[in-house]
Chains A and B, each alone.
Chain A
Amino acid sequence: MQKSSEKSFPKQKEFRVAIASGKGGTGKTTLAVNLSRWIAQKCKVRLADLDVEEPNSGLFLALPLVQRRPVKRAIPAWDQELCLFCGNCQKVCNFNAIIQTKSLVMTFPQLCHSCKACWELCPAKALHPQEYRVGEISFFQDENMEFIEGRLDVGQEQAVPVIAEVLDYLDENILLSGLTIIDSPPGTACPAVETFSRADLVLLVVEPTPFGLYDASLAVAVAKALGKPLAVVVNKWVADDQLLADFVQQNQVEIIAKIGESKKIAEDYSKGNLIYEDNPEVQENLRSIYDYLVAGMGAKL
């Protein structure tokens, strides 16, 4: 199923890490922003927030905005003059996004997947593509790092076009060296699949509770189905127990860092602060992760 040639880590270009979580609220964004900021002191880093339904990374960074543009996709527009009312457009749409009555063709943009079939197969060319806004992409930068945020408009249901637009930007502007860190969408459905499929490594943030471990095992299954290497960071860690040991064994994963449960960290997070600044133990965690990534790349960052 996986696309060719991505098994081994690339050496002459950026290394792309998707920070993921099965369950929401495990600390995915926390790790993404803290790791980015901390590593930016050592090498070139860019961070992309692909949790486009609820993008939060930017709240912790406060970087200057460089550019912002809308994300659009194509939906059909109808030309009444040309229409033969043959019903073909309705027939070829698998998403019920277009309906023809005796005198009218109605389109439902939110159901449309932009497959192009209706206008390309219209015998009278009575349909043509028009742009439809679904979200926006913003670019931020300071002297240490670059940050790209995808943001879905409220009311839009399909997150993938916004995610794909950010991933396309990353692909078209590959760093010659350094690290691209992705704050991935939660869960295991289409948004997460799209993100994992275009990363070199999935770094899974796991909360060591029955909820967290169950959801994490679903995310491991997705990464494996896509043929992506994966490593685990435990967050809100309390103690090593049988539950965690079973998870590691059953899923054949490696834990590369454990960030301890702490109310102090939760409070710092609640204020929108970077948690490593005031919690030295977190810096040790970040160092372990950094070392793992460097070793994983087979080259110094």
Chain B
Amino acid sequence: MKDIQEIVVISGKGGTGKTSVSAALAVIGGSELILADCDVDAPDLHLVVSPVEREREVFYAGELAQIDAKKCIGCGKCQTACSFLAIDKLGEREYTIDPFRCEGCGYCARICPSEAITNLPRLTGEVLISQIKTKTTMVHAHLDVGGENSGKLVAELKNRAKKIAKESNKKIVLVDGSPGIGCPVVSSLSGASLVLLVVEPTVSGFHDLKRVLELVNKFSIQSVAIINKYDLNENITNQIKEYLGQFQVEVVGYLPYDKAFYDAVMQGKSVVESHEGYRDKFAKIYKKIKEIQEKK
């Protein structure tokens, strides 16, 4: 068993209840774990765990080109070289960088004959470290508007969380991941010890599960699943259960379609705090996950 267990909660499809599940498990785990909100595009955990900010640090990743108008001779070579259509011509001798399109490859700066282009570190967002109501620490972030490099921000958050876990002698880092299968998800999977898939029994939820599980399996990471709103479509719930079985993915919990989850969020709480009945349910799920971890 590795020193620090990193449990990553992902879903493929968005809105399946990933954050509600993460919040509930965070409350059950309490001070035994460090929490990391790595859904940097749409971070929501802070809305239900009452964070008190302790540290805030700007985070730079990658680069952004900048043209010095005084040095520019208007040759247009930069515009021709740019693969991202990030350089616009404003006037006869005036070119400008579109920061939303620039990927920071630096090619333009290398070929500019008048050395008018420099690459500056790119502001990606802010890393936040907060004390939360479960008497532990949460690492989270603000991604800058239209932020690039969200994968690097995710990697940074996970490193911070692991470091804090090590320093404070905690064994578990619980990561709320991003939807989809792209760079932030890949980044959240690297180094994970267990993946918790939150799945909903809908045609689209099942479709997306297959894709995200294929990705997880490429990383050879063990995964378990929670089927949320299992009673919405029991037919698909059964299909999902059977499908997961083929990949040795154990279903560690079933949650019903229940307004309690909506009510909890409206109160700024996790469902285990607002509805006592769920405390037991999530305690069992948490215990099961820990047992699976310890067996490894």
B180 within 8 A of A: yes
Do B148 and A267 touch across chains, with their CB atoms under 8 A apart?
Answer: no
How far is A59 from B206 in the complex, measured between Cα atoms in Å? 11
How far is A42 from B123 in the complex, measured between Cα atoms in Å? 46
Neighbouring B residues of A263 by C-beta, 8 Å: 232, 257
Do B211 and A154 touch across chains, with their CB atoms under 8 A apart?
Answer: yes
A41 within 8 A of B: no
A89 to chain B, nearest CB (A): 12
B91 to chain A, nearest CB (A): 13
How far is A197 from B101 in the complex, measured between Cα atoms in Å? 10
Do B47 and A115 touch across chains, with their CB atoms under 8 A apart?
Answer: no
The stretch of B52-60, B130-138, B158-166, B261-269 that contacts the partner chain: B261-269
B122 to chain A, nearest CB (A): 11
Do B143 and A54 touch across chains, with their CB atoms under 8 A apart?
Answer: no
B179 to chain A, nearest CB (A): 4
Q: Which among B11, B88, B146, B204 is the interface contact of A190 at CB below 8 angstroms? A: B146
How far is A190 from B103 in the complex, measured between Cα atoms in Å? 10
B153 to chain A, nearest CB (A): 9
Do B204 and A154 touch across chains, with their CB atoms under 8 A apart?
Answer: no
Do B178 and A222 touch across chains, with their CB atoms under 8 A apart?
Answer: no
Do A186 and B265 touch across chains, with their CB atoms under 8 A apart?
Answer: no
The stretch of B1-9, B182-190, B244-252 that contacts the partner chain: B182-190
Give A59's nearest chain B residue, CB to CB. B203
How far is A114 from B178 in the complex, measured between Cα atoms in Å? 25
A221 within 8 A of B: yes
B74 within 8 A of A: no
Neighbouring B residues of A266 by C-beta, 8 Å: 229, 232, 257
B100 within 8 A of A: yes
1/0 per position for B79-104, CB-CB distance to A under 8 A?
00101100010000000001110011
Number of A-B pairs whose CB atoms are under 8 Å?
Answer: 192
Do A25 and B16 touch across chains, with their CB atoms under 8 A apart?
Answer: yes
A272 within 8 A of B: yes
1/0 per position for A126-159, CB-CB distance to B under 8 A?
0000000000000000000000000010111111
The stretch of A77-85, A172-180, A207-215 that contacts the partner chain: A207-215
Do A115 and B83 touch across chains, with their CB atoms under 8 A apart?
Answer: yes
B105 within 8 A of A: yes
Chain A: residues with Cβ within 8 Å of the partner, total of 61
Do B15 and A189 touch across chains, with their CB atoms under 8 A apart?
Answer: no
How far is A156 from B84 in the complex, measured between Cα atoms in Å? 19
Do A54 and B150 touch across chains, with their CB atoms under 8 A apart?
Answer: no
Give A25's nearest chain B residue, CB to CB. B15
Q: Which of A252-289 contact B (CB under 8 A)?
A: 263, 266-267, 269-272
Given A115-B107, A157-B182, A157-B186, A186:B42 Cβ within 8 A: yes
Closest 9 CB pairs of A and B: A25-B15, A24-B14, A187-B41, A115-B105, A53-B180, A272-B203, A270-B233, A270-B202, A117-B107
Please give 19 more A-B residue pairs, beta carbons under 8 A apart, in addition to A54-B207, A188-B146, A210-B265: A25-B15, A53-B179, A54-B181, A59-B207, A94-B63, A94-B105, A94-B106, A115-B84, A115-B103, A154-B218, A157-B186, A186-B179, A189-B40, A190-B146, A210-B48, A215-B44, A221-B145, A243-B266, A272-B203
B-binding residues in A (CB < 8 A): 1, 3, 21-26, 29, 53-54, 56, 59-60, 92, 94-95, 113-117, 120-121, 152, 154-159, 185-193, 197, 207, 209-211, 214-215, 218, 221-222, 225-226, 238, 243, 263, 266-267, 269-272
Task: Provide 27 A-B residue pairs closer than 8 Å at the C-beta atoms, listed in order of the A residue.
Answer: A23-B14, A54-B12, A54-B212, A92-B110, A113-B83, A116-B81, A117-B105, A120-B107, A152-B182, A155-B214, A155-B215, A155-B218, A187-B42, A188-B146, A189-B146, A191-B182, A192-B41, A210-B48, A214-B42, A215-B42, A218-B41, A225-B145, A226-B146, A263-B257, A266-B229, A269-B202, A272-B203
